[in-house]
A and B are shown apart, each in its own frame.
Chain A
């Protein structure tokens, strides 16, 4: 058997189901791989060796009894450390949750376990998912497998790096402003932000409740679809969860086709601030879509100009409230509990010591934006912009079936380059944020390497809410056309670690 870590999730599941290999062997191969290279990459915050092997053994036992296995049974997965896992630490990349072992599984965690997915461990992330580089993790940065001195994107850099370095064929991310798609783009992997409400948020530590959305990360479009199907679906524990059938994403991924499809190119994405090589690959992708039979239409979404500003009011506002619960009273870090401080002082000391600079910055921004007398000007206006952006999308989707854009304006930047410049960091999410504000579905998939730096570029596809299957139909067509053109998947060109 070839190197088990190079297989796709679909291939892995098939090999286990057919008895070609065992789930334990697959899990062990990935644990060995993690052991061998993760010191360099730092994709994982916690590796659950025992849990992974136990889950793998259970899959093998099930197969031995002749029971039917699900489409992802035995496939290893790297779980972003923002989902609660019963009995396994969950840090959200923060010191504030030091020592907390969740007493419950997130709905997503439970669904993965029920599907027989083998959770290898918890991946690194920007603290509370606030960031675009994973440099805001309290536990140190993660390296981009294409160049370990560069960022793997964020906030889900641990998940994207785990995929790109073949430490796991599947990963879970969460996307509040681009935290699945931007890491996918800069690591040459596939990431999908499903329609808001498609994947339960129960047990996903909240950053910005109205924007947060969990989703699949993988190395192929089909793998992402298989994972999407496993984690999506209505959850009575999440009131904002969509109560509708999950779109047929796997079927779409198996039947890539863009013939007759109307594809919109958003005029407002591009120009100043966009790297030449990124735009080159993007234009090539649009050309490819045309060659494959799609009709290309230019559309305008004028309100997108204000998306970043609105986002940086709404997300901090919600986070200032969501993160209030970290007060040292019930769980996690507690500082100053020496009998000389009041409860109020212990809370203040703990939050001072436990939160990083970016988290504090956003809590302060949000607290200010929600303050009496400022609410209308800030939070209120931002919500109006959000409505305008949603209308821009609606108008555009009246004309076209999907929209395309570069996922991110630049390729992976060096670690440390934007660490002291929050505004520069925020710009990384320029193209991804509108979809979070509107709650629709979007995917990033690799569309080549930028000529000037040889680093991956992502193509973003956006579909209307609840039409997630379109992403996979278009994505699969583009993916197979590119692989045919390149002669191999893009990740084959990544350096060996």
Chain B
């Protein structure tokens, strides 16, 4: 059965209803080994090459908790302003699925490691919205099923499925918000900003690269509507695996419009999971939850409780880096730019690159000029992330230094950058190989100036008569003669000097 969903306009939806959201984000930790065994977590290995009795769930095997996983979970909890449990346990979440080797997932249930926190997120215009955190808990990832023979890659219509257990047992932290209320029409934007902020936070903590396109961070968007002025939550839909910032915003927006259409048409929302479609930003019905799934949770008897000492928690708290939002605000002030400009820098993924360039000795405005200008243009053209361009902050800083020293002008500097990107080596090497240094030999420059004066007597006369503006033509001639490698300001000075005119 194909259901074509009716939608009402976003404005109409918001005119009648108030959205309530819940966001569940899974983060794959960047630990070297899996959560409960010593297998590697390296991505891209041959299927089923990073497995052992434990992560394959072989009879007799037992789990052992990865201490780095627990440490990462506590760091995330602390950064989210959560309380850290004095004592908590793992629990088994029981359900059958072939990609889950034990047919239960080792997770946490009513005793999460971290709970009751919040994350302040900044919206585009600088407004700060507080998202309350319900809990963050530890669990393990499942294996990966690949369904063969079906049209859509889904299990429906497939002739057989392939299972890869390399991912089984990779540590996950699931971060669950409390119901997000009061965001109104900005709900989709809040959802996006929250996930973006969380991603920055996870990266700043160094616990995961949180690359959404690699599945290292996955988001479920739960959404319901209630008529304005009412308190009771409506029935929610759960849109699973929304895997980019843009998609999070679109999924929330789509569901608001879809729910509103159903509700205003007198219908009822079915509690169900929904699939998000990148192509058109729509969601479609997944499996309907006729009754709440019964996972028969119980405390994992193969593991002992996790009881992080208060001393350890405080030690970890002391190692927390500056929160991304706070850091951004500090940098924005240091760099002297507006909220809006800072947002552009953030969106371009340029903050850390600029900071590193400044650390390598470049002035902030220069560093920002290159990364947000020439390099941003190249990253767009090439369709790669800024950070993935084959140039380092140190190289950019060197280019800035060469300009400051007067050895390069802007035009030449762009050519140097181009050379570095083309793999011609460090900036100094590119300068040498391409012969790009500014002509600063006063003798050679003087000769070129004399030549230009001699070749353009009419213009020279005008200048002598006080038409200083005419000097531009002679500068142009000198630049042409030196193939652009002269310092234009110095050339102008020399011309005026030679002609006995004050600039």
Contacts and interface: CB of A to CB of B under 8 A. Distances in A.
A33 to B, nearest CB: 29
A325 B296 contact: no
A102 B96 contact: no
B56 A330 contact: yes
B302 A209 contact: yes
Q: How large is the interface on B (under 10, 10 to 19, 20 to 34, 35 or more residues)?
A: 20 to 34
Contacts of A304: none
B59 A329 contact: no
B300 to A, nearest CB: 8
Interface string B100-137: 01111000000000000000000000000000000000
Contact of A102 (B59, B63, B161): B59
A331 B98 CA distance: 12
A480 interface: no
A167 to B, nearest CB: 25
B301 A318 contact: yes
B53 interface: yes
A235 B63 CA distance: 12
Contacts of B60: 83-84, 90, 102, 106, 201-206
B104 A321 contact: yes
A225 B103 CA distance: 38
Contacts of A239: 62-65, 302-304
A434 to B, nearest CB: 18
B259 interface: no
Contacts, number: 102
A210 B58 contact: no
Contact of A236 (B59, B61, B64, B297): B64
B37 to A, nearest CB: 9
Contacts of B326: none
B26 interface: no
Interface string B67-98: 00000000000000000000000001010101
B302 to A, nearest CB: 5
B98 A372 contact: no
A206 B63 CA distance: 12
A300 B303 CA distance: 33
Nearest to A241: B62
Contacts of B335: none
A491 B292 CA distance: 58
Contacts of A367: 296
A21 interface: no
A102 B65 CA distance: 23
A435 B237 CA distance: 49
A343 B161 CA distance: 9
B15 interface: no
B102 A329 contact: no
A344 interface: yes
B194 to A, nearest CB: 30
Contacts of B53: 103-104, 203
Interface in A176-215: 201-206, 208-210
A185 B65 CA distance: 39
B381 interface: no
A223 B490 CA distance: 99
A370 B296 contact: yes
A352 interface: no
Interface string A378-397: 01000000000000000000
Given A103-B53, A344-B96, A375-B298, A324 B103 contact: yes
A321 B93 CA distance: 9
B153 to A, nearest CB: 16
A202 B302 CA distance: 10
Interface in A230-244: 236-240
Contacts of B101: 325, 330
B28 to A, nearest CB: 23
Interface of A: 83-84, 90, 92, 97, 100, 102-104, 106, 201-206, 208-210, 236-240, 317-318, 320-321, 324-327, 329-331, 343-344, 347, 367, 370-372, 375, 379
Interface of B: 53, 56-65, 92, 94, 96, 98, 101-104, 161, 163, 292, 294, 296-298, 301-304
